[in-house]
């Protein structure tokens, strides 16, 4: 384990000061530990010294205080005192995870070495067996630890070939098989696995007397190896400055930080700009692109250009029905039609009768249209009128339409539109309003009856999964359309009525605050009387 032993100089004076920030570089590697000295004059006149380390997040950690850390108030000028050492660990969290995973793989390899002897060569003298050949894909370097483990328990050890030159791998494997120099083969990626299998079958076809050679593989997408800094991942969405997309963008950035990838994430109010952003990602050599399909026909050409360039594209949020047609690898999103259906069912339970106004804030968004269609399919106490208003104009337009007297309720399809309609009537809203989206304001307003109900649309989950999916596609190094077979992952929408929102808000209140302000209401009132 690599550590830094930092000696604090004790001859620092001053009151409550911070100073001396420096970086320590370990062993010539590109690793830096940034620390600073914390100096504080205490009430008794002594000066106390500590050391802080800056975390990867940029925040300064808790002050580490050595045992010997005080400068006496009467110390002679020019006197130098040294603290006891402070030890900082330079091993990163990612390195710890990688090493733990490597150890797990090595242990699995040791078990595999014993298995090879028992299962395939029980009657042979183990010392006469040919070695195991391990084919390590450079993209899967951590997985090579499985081979290290096999080498510890297989009697004649392991020989390792690390290469992604698959022609060279095939040539070498054919040579070794013909020479009888291989007892088993292990592959650490699908590509090396298929290369080995085809080479073996080719040799056996022409040399059946050689007998069968088993090929095993170990592929695990949880390998903590991170993509290179130059690998660009793109998340391109519609929506502009809508609250939903603000949350989604923040979560995408958080996901990229957690995964350690280079992410470019942006939202666009114009579909043409979204298509241009996809093309820019192609020009910049992105390894994977995630995009919404707000207007599939207008985005199809840009997506086709990306896939033609060998860049896999997945889709999320809008456009589940069109994902397969435009050729995205798989789709992650809310089940928009089902969301509309449960909204209609809830309006029925609420006793609404008459026309429901379904407000579409993006005229070309197929997902929003599906919500209105789902609403119309289950609402049985009247009809559904679909109107398209830009988000900034929606509140005034809805109030004008409601004033005509034939609208029984309004269904807003985003939290931005819902908030604007509500605030346009504040503080005493009259329009029976339901909306998509969630925030703490919604929770309180639904609980108070200002909004009938909300439907969670999960921007956080959608954007996080889209970033994870983009990385997974790159990680697997496979044709994702073939692998995922046009898979669609749809989130089942949920109604949040007053009872649900009450549970949400109560769950967010710390127990001690509940005891202070909620449980003692009656006793507090009695005392005030």
Tens of pLDDT, residues 171-209: 999 999 999 999 889 988 778 888 899 999 999 999 988
- Of 339, 286, 340, 337, which Cα lies nearest the Cα of 314? 286
Do 351 and 445 belong together in one domain? yes
Mean pLDDT of 228-244: 82
313/398 same-domain check: no
Higher per-residue confidence, 212 vs 384: 384
Q: What pLDDT does residue 486 have?
A: 63
Q: How far apart are CA 442 and CA 159, in angstroms?
A: 62
Asked whether 137 and 164 are in contact (CB, 8 A), the reply is yes
| Paired strand residues for 488 | 331
| Whether 374 contacts 344, CB under 8 Å | yes
Residues 185 and 196: beta-carbon distance below 8 Å? yes
Q: Is residue 149 part of a domain?
A: yes
**Residue 58 included in any domain:** yes
- How confident is residue 12, by pLDDT bands cut at 50, 70 and 90? very low
What is the side-by-side order of every strand in the sheet holding 70-71? Answer: 17-25, 32-41, 47-53, 70-71
Question: Do 436 and 423 have their domain in common?
Answer: yes
Q: Are strands 3-6 and 86-89 parallel, antiparallel or unpaired?
A: antiparallel
Tell me, yes or no, whether 128 lies in a domain.
Answer: yes
pLDDT at residue 20 is higher than 90: no
Is residue 194 domain-shared with residue 129, that is, in the same domain? yes
359 in the same domain as 305: no
Phi (first) and psi of residue 21, to 5 degrees? -95, 130
Residue 167 shares a structural domain with residue 304: no
Pairing mode, if any, of strands 17-25 and 3-6? unpaired
Domain match, 136 and 205 both: yes
Q: Is residue 63 part of a domain?
A: yes
Q: How confident is the model at residue 74 (pLDDT cuts 50, 70, 90)?
A: confident
- Of the listed ranges 26-40, 92-106, 255-269, 453-467, the one predicted with least confidence: 26-40
Whether the predicted pLDDT of 96 surpasses 90: no
- CB-facing half-sphere around the CA of 340: CA atoms within 13 A: 23
The contacts of residue 291 (CB under 8 Å, 6+ apart) are: 234, 235, 236, 237, 274, 278, 299, 303, 313, 314, 315, 316, 328
Strand ranges in 269-379 using DSSP code E only, listed in sequence order = 288-292, 313-316, 330-334, 355-360
Phi, psi of 516 (to 5 degrees): -75, -45
- Distance in angstroms between the alpha carbons of the first and the last residue of the chain: 66
Q: Domain for residue 513, yes or no?
A: no
Tally Cβ neighbours within 10 Å of residue 174.
Answer: 16
CA distance 151 to 165: 24
For residue 24, being part of any structural domain is answered with yes
Picking from 8-12, 240-244, 488-492, 519-523, which range would have the lowest pLDDT averaged per residue? 8-12
Q: Where are the beta strands (DSSP E) in 96-200?
A: 132-136, 158-162, 184-187
Q: Are residues 429 and 397 in the same domain?
A: yes
CA distances from 399 to 229, 295, 442 (A): 51, 28, 20
Number of domains in the chain: 4
Half-sphere exposure of 141 (CA within 13 A, CB side): 6
Max Cα separation, the chain? Answer: 101
**91, 108, 138: which is the final residue of a domain?**
91
The span from the CA of 126 to the CA of 521, in Å, is 79
pLDDT value of position 92: 65
- pLDDT, tens digit, 9 for 90 and up, residues 354-407: 999 999 998 888 999 999 999 999 999 999 999 999 988 999 999 999 999 999
Pairing of strands 184-187, 214-217: parallel
What does the alpha-carbon distance between residue 302 and residue 52 come to, in Å, rounded to a whole number? 49
Phi-psi group of 20: left, alpha or beta (phi > 0 → left; psi -120 to 50 → alpha; rest → beta): left
* Segments forming the whole domain that contains residue 184: 95-217
Tell me the C-alpha distance between 411 and 420, whole Å: 13
Tabulate helix, strand, coil % of the chain (nearest 5): 45, 20, 35
Structural domain includes residue 132? yes
Last residue of a domain, one of 459, 478, 504: 459
Statement to judge: residues 20 and 83 lie in one domain = yes
d(CA 494, CA 189): 40
Residue 39 lies in a domain: yes
Q: Residue 132 above 50 pLDDT?
A: yes
Question: Tell me, what DSSP letter sits at residue 152?
Answer: H
Same domain, 449 and 378: yes
pTM attached to this predicted model: 0.65
Query: Do 273 and 203 sit in the same domain of this protein?
Result: no
Residue 75 neighbours by CB under 8 Å, 6+ apart: 11, 81
Let me know whether 9 and 86 are in one domain.
yes
Q: CATH no. for residue 483?
A: 3.40.50.2300
Q: Are 235 and 290 in contact, with CB atoms under 8 Å apart?
A: yes
Q: Chain-centre distance of CA 170, in angstroms? A: 37
Strands 70-71 and 47-53: antiparallel
Angle at 184 between CA 180 and CA 189, to 5 degrees: 125
């Amino acid at each position: 384990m690599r550590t830094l032993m930092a000696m604090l100089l004790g001859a620092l004076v001053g009151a409550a000061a911070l100073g001396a920030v420096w970086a320590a570089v370990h062993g010539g590697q590109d690793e830096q530990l940034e620390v600073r000295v914390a100096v504080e004059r205490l009430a008794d006149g002594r000066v106390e010294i500590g050391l802080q380390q800056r975390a990867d997040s940029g925040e300064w950690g808790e002050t580490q205080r050595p045992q010997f850390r005080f400068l006496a108030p009467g110390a002679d000028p020019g006197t130098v005192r040294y603290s006891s050492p402070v030890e900082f660990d330079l091993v990163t969290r990612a390195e710890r995870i990688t090493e733990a995973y490597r150890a797990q793989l090595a242990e699995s390899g040791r078990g595999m070495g014993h298995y090879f002897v028992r299962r395939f060569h029980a009657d042979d003298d183990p010392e006469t067996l040919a070695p195991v050949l391990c084919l390590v894909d450079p993209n899967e370097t951590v997985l090579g630890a499985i081979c290290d483990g096999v080498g510890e328990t297989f009697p004649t050890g392991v020989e390792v070939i690390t290469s992604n030159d698959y022609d060279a791998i095939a040539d070498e494997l054919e040579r070794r098989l013909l020479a009888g120099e291989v007892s088993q083969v292990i592959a650490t990626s699908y590509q090396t696995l298929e290369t080995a299998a085809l080479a073996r079958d080719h040799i056996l076809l022409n040399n059946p007397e050689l007998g069968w050679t088993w090929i095993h593989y170990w592929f695990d997408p949880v390998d903590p190896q991170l993509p290179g800094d130059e690998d660009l991942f793109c998340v391109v969405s519609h929506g502009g400055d809508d609250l939903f997309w603000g949350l989604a963008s923040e979560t995408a950035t958080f996901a990229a930080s957690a995964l350690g990838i280079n992410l470019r994430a942006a939202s666009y109010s114009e579909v043409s700009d979204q298509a241009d952003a996809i093309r820019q990602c192609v020009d910049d050599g992105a390894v994977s692109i995630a995009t919404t399909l707000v207007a599939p026909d207008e985005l199809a050409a840009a997506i086709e250009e990306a896939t033609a360039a060998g860049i896999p594209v997945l889709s999320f949020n809008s456009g589940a029905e069109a994902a397969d047609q435009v050729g995205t690898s798989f789709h992650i999103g809310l089940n928009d039609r089902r969301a509309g259906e449960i909204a209609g069912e809830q309006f029925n339970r609420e006793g609404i009768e008459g026309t429901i106004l379904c407000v579409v804030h993006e005229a070309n968004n197929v997902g929003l249209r599906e919500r209105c269609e789902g609403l119309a399919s289950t609402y049985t106490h009247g009809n559904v009128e679909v109107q398209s208003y830009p988000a900034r104009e929606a509140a005034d337009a809805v109030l004008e339409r409601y004033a005509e007297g034939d609208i029984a309720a309004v269904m807003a399809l985003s939290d931005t539109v819902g908030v604007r309609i509500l605030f346009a009537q504040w503080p005493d809203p009259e329009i029976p309003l339901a909306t998509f989206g969630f925030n703490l304001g919604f929770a309180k307003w639904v609980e108070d009856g200002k909004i009938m109900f909300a439907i969670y649309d999960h921007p956080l989950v959608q954007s996080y999964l889209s970033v994870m999916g983009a990385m997974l596609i790159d990680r697997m190094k496979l044709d994702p359309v073939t692998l995922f077979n046009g898979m669609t992952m749809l989130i089942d929408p949920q109604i949040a009525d007053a009872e649900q929102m009450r549970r949400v808000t109560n769950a967010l209140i710390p127990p001690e605050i509940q005891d202070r302000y909620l449980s003692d209401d009656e006793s507090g009132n009695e005392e005030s009387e």
